[in-house]
Structure 1
Amino acid sequence: MTAAPPPVAPGVPVLGNALRMMGDVQQFLVDTYRRMGPVYRVRALNQAFVIMAGAEANRFLLDRGEAAFTSEESFGGLDREFGMRVHVLRGRPHRHLRRILATGLSRDLLAARWDRVTAETGRLLDGWAGRSTVPVVDACQRLAAAQLSIAYTGASSAARFETLRSAFELVLDVTIAGKWPAATLRWPAYRRARAEIHRFAREALAERAAAGPRDGVPDLLDQALAATDEDGAPYPLDVRAGMALQGYFAGVNTVAYLYSFMIDVLVRHPDVLARVTDEVDAAGPLTFDRLRDLPALHGLVMETLRVYPPAPGSARTAAETFDFEGFRIERGQRVLVATCVTHQLPEHFPDPHRFDLDRDFAAGRRAGVYAPFSVGGHTCLGAGMTQVLAVATVAMLVRRLRLTPTARRPLRITATPGPNPGGRFKVSVSPRALR
């Protein structure tokens, strides 16, 4: 007997589940999992998805994701618009390109350029203190983009930040979130921004080819220049340019949103702020090696990623028809594997609503139920760099600044282009005497 299709989650006429999914999408996924079970269908405006959630969904993605899913429909826009081919490849070509990028996105680059990254971080944080209020998401996007561009390529992207942010976010809103129609990517303003970004990436590659590795440290640009595909043939120029852009792309959203949520935690939880501040004050000089000896800060990063994961789910398309938990998912259906629903389940994380700096994540990692950067072959390549850089950034922030919220209001999360505290989240900033 053929299995039935998954049940449909209740929604409102026309909009379906869109309103809930445009807000705190992680909470929507958790609530609907508890009500509907591990597989169900949702509709958001003109898009329909099958949601797979829970520990078994994570295990399915880990064990069968390579064969069962394709990323072309969800992430093809990044490849078509900016040559970021790694997001859509499968099998051997995908594994090969990931290995190349992993070297160029390594945390070892942060260690090698630590002094330059921290100098730029300090300069930007000191600039926050000169403003009466700071819009947190915008400020964190600028900070993360500057940090990662120095670490990955040896040069700041500040001069092109607005162009990079607007173009990357529009592509994500069109191709993944479905917030705007595909015709939006034909707007003249976007096409000009896209052309400028392509020119920027190609010029960076040409300059590096002429000058050689910067600081004597091979980085993302060097990896892109030397890269060949799985058969030993040079990648086309557009793919090399896409490789060069990966670091900038990560900084504008994922890393910045993590910083933003960590700041929200610090201003809403005085006990967390006090403990983290005491640890940083006692640490002495913030060298790269010293970062390993800051357990409260590591706990802050890990717990923030649990409560506010940067990617609550992995958007895919079924490459084959398969059954999951007694229901049939047809080839060609859009699927969201809600990998972070497990973060809020007490069987995996006791007392999940409590923010706990001392929570043990070892078992959750081994079981694949702690998955802020997804699981399996498409796990975020920059996860290691993100976590180390987040520890360093918050350490510098609490050492230099005092932050207070400008208004006592509930946190309002928006889901596009990724979960973040929104443009209304602002803090007041004042300098803190260095110890």
Structure 2
Amino acid sequence: MTPPPPRVPGLPLLGNALPMMGDVQRFFVDTYHRLGPVYRVKALNQAFVIMAGQRANRFLLEHGEDVFSSEVSFGGLNREFGMRVHVLRGRPHRHLRKVLATGLSRDLLAARWDDVVRETEQTFDGWRGRRALPVVDACQRLAAAQLSVAFTGASSAARFATLRSAFELVLDVTIAGKWPAAALRLPTYRRARAEILAFARDALADRAAHPTGGPRDLLDQALDAVDENGVEYPLDVRAGMALQGYFAGVNTVAYLYSFMLRALLDNPAVLERVTNEVGAEPITWERLRELPALRGLVLETLRVYPPAPGSARTVTRAFDFEGRHIAEGRRVLVATCVPHHLEEFFPEPDRFDIDRDFTAGRRASVYAPFSVGGHTCLGAGMTEVLAVATAALLVRHLTVTPTHPGRPLRITATPGPNPGRRFLVDLA
């Protein structure tokens, strides 16, 4: 009989929780080198099989629909906020992704480009002169403003704190296992959830009563959406669609911005190069294609500091992988970004190099900052473009210095890998 994957040694009760609460990407890579492409981990009350390496990515891409489900990992998002796309499979999943993709597209960002740039510049004007600015928090607020303007035509800044706290708690309970399920019954959370759902329904009702006549955005798509059989989605699912871009994007985009800023501070030559590339010309939509150094900055940041280093699934049908048996019911995390740090795919992987060519890596499924297969992030394209523009506007408008020069980077893993609260900057 094929043996199960080896277990990673850990502490009593805690298991592997401590290293996984920090730089989880480094933990996955180091353990891959020690134990190979499949192994078991335990973190408090959570147990996972980790699959890593190029063959793991190919397995997810080619067999994920047959042997995996996302229900256990992401079902909470559907139950709490009607975000059905995370738990569907097959034809219903492909159909809903197609509907959502139209409202999360680069074309929509292009249509609202001037508004997004204006929102970004106003935010940066508010940062100027700040001392000890908490980067992650500031970037979350910036990303929320940008994405809500792009996806709905209006800023959600007034509800930022409520949206962030509720979404992050759901992730910490249902995916990270950081808190017990009882946390979702707390009165403070239930009030926040009710406010968020009312906000989404009110936004849909207002758009139905007052069409903008502009580009069709996420609200328009949600209003008219029907399922794969032509039946109108229930109101809770359409409300979840209206929230989807905000939920899926804010932390991903914010953490990318935070790590980009850290990379610029750690690599003065890169900062000088991208600053020179930006120059004095306006940052128009058309000009984004003419900024190779900035695009390299974004792509290399995604390689070194991936916002989603793994894809969580549950096994629906037992299978063997790399000589190990993975049983039905097991929770699996495909560590899709481990190849980012393997010498055979990215020479000198610990060197930050904005001149790398990622084309072959994408084709080979070894460059996968937004996962691979049917659950790849719908907003990946928009995120990359928006990050190029934001970095360009940042280096043009602000001079950034670390509040605590020499303080080492300390990554925290939840609700997604980010530089943590200790990353502070001064701005002029």
TM-score range, shorter chain: over 0.9
Q: Is the 8 A contact 2:129 2:426 kept in 1?
A: no
Output the CA distance in 2 between the equivalents of 1:353 and 1:186.
43
Q: Is the 8 A contact 2:249 2:379 kept in 1?
A: no
Match of 1:169 in 2: 168
User: Which residue type is aligned with residue 141 of structure 1?
Assistant: Q
* TM-score normalised by length of structure 1: 0.97
- Offset at 1:80? 0.5
Match of 2:90 in 1: 91
**Cα shift readout 1:334-384 (whole Å, capped 9, x = no counterpart):** 000000000000101111111111001011000000000000000000000
Match of 1:41 in 2: 40
Q: Is the 8 A contact 1:364 1:370 kept in 2?
A: yes
Output the CA distance in 1 between the equivalents of 2:127 and 2:265.
16
Match of 1:202 in 2: 201
**Structure 1 range deviating more: 130-139 or 69-78:** 130-139
Output the CA distance in 2 between the equivalents of 1:250 and 1:156.
16
Match of 1:298 in 2: 295
Match of 2:226 in 1: 228
User: Which residue type is aligned with residue 349 of structure 1?
Assistant: F
| 1:271 equivalent among 264, 269, 274 | 269
SS in structure 1 at match of 2:209: helix
Match of 1:352 in 2: 349
SS in structure 2 at match of 1:110: helix
Q: Does 1:123 align with 2:111?
A: no
Q: Is the 8 A contact 1:413 1:419 kept in 2?
A: yes
Q: Does 1:157 align with 2:159?
A: no
Output the CA distance in 2 between the equivalents of 1:319 and 1:224.
31
Match of 1:8 in 2: 7
Match of 1:323 in 2: 320
Aligned residues between the structures: 427
User: Which residue type is aligned with residue 298 of structure 1?
Assistant: R
Output the CA distance in 1 between the equivalents of 2:385 and 2:401.
25
**Cα shift readout 1:184-216 (whole Å, capped 9, x = no counterpart):** 00000000000000000000000001111x351
- Offset at 1:130? 3.5
SS in structure 2 at match of 1:20: helix
- Offset at 1:10? 1.1
Q: Is the 8 A contact 2:105 2:379 kept in 1?
A: yes
Q: Does 1:404 align with 2:408?
A: no
Q: Does 1:63 align with 2:62?
A: yes
* TM-score normalised by length of structure 2: 0.99
**Cα shift readout 1:389-432 (whole Å, capped 9, x = no counterpart):** 000001000000000001121100000000000011000000xx
Match of 2:217 in 1: 219
SS in structure 2 at match of 1:316: strand
SS in structure 1 at match of 2:169: helix
User: Which residue type is aligned with residue 51 of structure 1?
Assistant: I
- Offset at 1:285? 1.1
Q: Is the 8 A contact 1:24 1:413 kept in 2?
A: yes
Match of 1:433 in 2: none
**Cα shift readout 1:7-54 (whole Å, capped 9, x = no counterpart):** 101111111100000000000000000000000100000111000000
Output the CA distance in 1 between the equivalents of 2:249 and 2:375.
18
Match of 2:257 in 1: 259
Q: Is the 8 A contact 2:103 2:151 kept in 1?
A: yes
Output the CA distance in 2 between the equivalents of 1:230 and 1:367.
31
- Offset at 1:65? 0.5
Output the CA distance in 1 between the equivalents of 2:346 and 2:282.
34
Report runs of 4+ in structure 1 exceeding 3 Å deviation: none
Output the CA distance in 1 between the equivalents of 2:66 and 2:82.
23
Output the CA distance in 1 between the equivalents of 2:206 and 2:96.
23
- Offset at 1:68? 1.0
SS in structure 2 at match of 1:216: coil
Q: Is the 8 A contact 1:141 1:251 kept in 2?
A: no
Q: Does 1:280 align with 2:283?
A: no
User: Which residue type is aligned with residue 341 of structure 1?
Assistant: V
Output the CA distance in 2 between the equivalents of 1:12 and 1:28.
15
Q: Is the 8 A contact 2:147 2:250 kept in 1?
A: no
Match of 1:241 in 2: 239
Gapped regions of structure 1 (runs ≥ 5) = 431-435
Output the CA distance in 1 between the equivalents of 2:412 and 2:373.
26
- Offset at 1:111? 0.6
Equivalent pairs: percent with the same residue?
Answer: 76
| 2:380 equivalent among 372, 375, 383 | 383
SS in structure 1 at match of 2:415: coil
- Offset at 1:319? 1.0
Match of 1:372 in 2: 369
- Offset at 1:133? 2.3
**Cα shift readout 1:89-119 (whole Å, capped 9, x = no counterpart):** 0000000000000001001111100111110
**Cα shift readout 1:308-350 (whole Å, capped 9, x = no counterpart):** 0000000000011000001110111000000000000010111
Gapped regions of structure 2 (runs ≥ 5) = none
Match of 2:358 in 1: 361
| 1:340 equivalent among 321, 325, 337 | 337
For the aligned residue pairs, the C-alpha RMSD in angstroms reads: 0.7
SS in structure 1 at match of 2:272: helix
Match of 1:418 in 2: 416
